[in-house]
């Protein structure tokens, strides 16, 4: 019985337009900035490169090139996520999420070189590897919590359609979950003490939330 008001057009016809800000990229799928950096944007390319956009130009050399270890053949595989450590300005650390040559989700830590426009590809330290049963629903997003400093990792349900093996509801697999870990403690990471299942032997303690299909992108 409630009357719903008509929609309001907040953008009059002709008030929106698209403007190209970068060209010459290959399958770009994510863009972000390092904390406190107002002069550069970092663009993730699916096949395994991260490019820098500065002053309206894409720099010719990649910030990071790990194409040799990335499996990007399927439409939902590749280099899928990038997150800079909250203290990047002082520690030079950043993390990426990619599917490796075996098709497994891989979350790794890298560091920048003495050249701020170039990372050290050989500095890789693998944080987490999760086998993927199918080539789709790889998700890929990484974000640091803005208030807690922990790393949030979205993992898809493993793929196919309809989660045939019911992984998203299984407390003993990381697939189909949002994870929350502390990369500044433990080896290779620690479990935040206020994670909802910390200390619970019946549930993987990295799990922050259950029942996700394919958390490709999210935000705080």
C-alpha distances in Å from residue 203, one per residue of 168, 170, 183? 12, 9, 20
The Cα diameter of the chain in Å comes to 66
Confidence band, pLDDT 50/70/90 cuts, at residue 3: confident
Return left, alpha or beta for 63; rule: phi > 0 is left, psi -120 to 50 is alpha, else beta.
alpha
Kindly report the pTM of this predicted structure. Answer: 0.92
pLDDT at 92: 98
Mean pLDDT of 111-133: 98
pLDDT digits (tens, 9 = 90+) for 52-99: 999 999 999 999 999 999 999 999 999 999 999 999 999 999 999 999
What was the pLDDT predicted at 146?
Answer: 96
Strands annotated E in 1-92: 28-32, 40-45, 49-54, 57-58, 64-65, 79-84
How much is the mean pLDDT over the chain? 95
The tokens for 170 are 């299984």
**Contacts of residue 203, Cβ cutoff 8 Å, sequence gap at least 6:** 171, 172, 197
SS3 call for 195: coil
């Amino acid at each position: 019985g409630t009357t719903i008001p008509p929609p309001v057009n907040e953008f009059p016809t002709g008030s929106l337009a698209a403007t190209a800000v970068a060209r010459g990229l290959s399958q770009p799928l994510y863009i972000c900035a390092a904390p406190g950096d107002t002069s550069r944007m970092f663009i993730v390319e699916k096949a395994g490169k991260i490019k820098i956009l500065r002053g309206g130009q894409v720099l010719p050399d990649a910030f990071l090139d790990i194409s040799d270890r990335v499996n990007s053949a399927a439409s939902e595989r590749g280099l899928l996520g990038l997150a800079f450590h909250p203290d990047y300005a002082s520690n030079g650390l950043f993390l990426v999420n990619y599917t490796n040559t075996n098709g497994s989700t891989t979350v790794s830590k890298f560091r920048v070189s003495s050249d701020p426009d170039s990372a050290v590809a050989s500095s890789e330290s693998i944080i987490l590897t999760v086998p993927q049963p199918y080539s789709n629903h790889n998700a890929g997003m990484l974000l640091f919590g803005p208030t807690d400093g922990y790393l949030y990792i979205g993992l898809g349900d493993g793929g196919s359609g309809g989660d045939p093996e019911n992984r998203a509801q299984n407390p003993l697999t990381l697939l189909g979950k949002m994870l929350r870990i502390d990369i500044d403690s433990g080896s290779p990471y620690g479990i935040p003490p206020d994670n909802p299942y910390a200390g619970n032997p019946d549930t993987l303690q990295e799990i922050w939330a259950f029942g996700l299909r394919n958390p490709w992108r999210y935000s705080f």
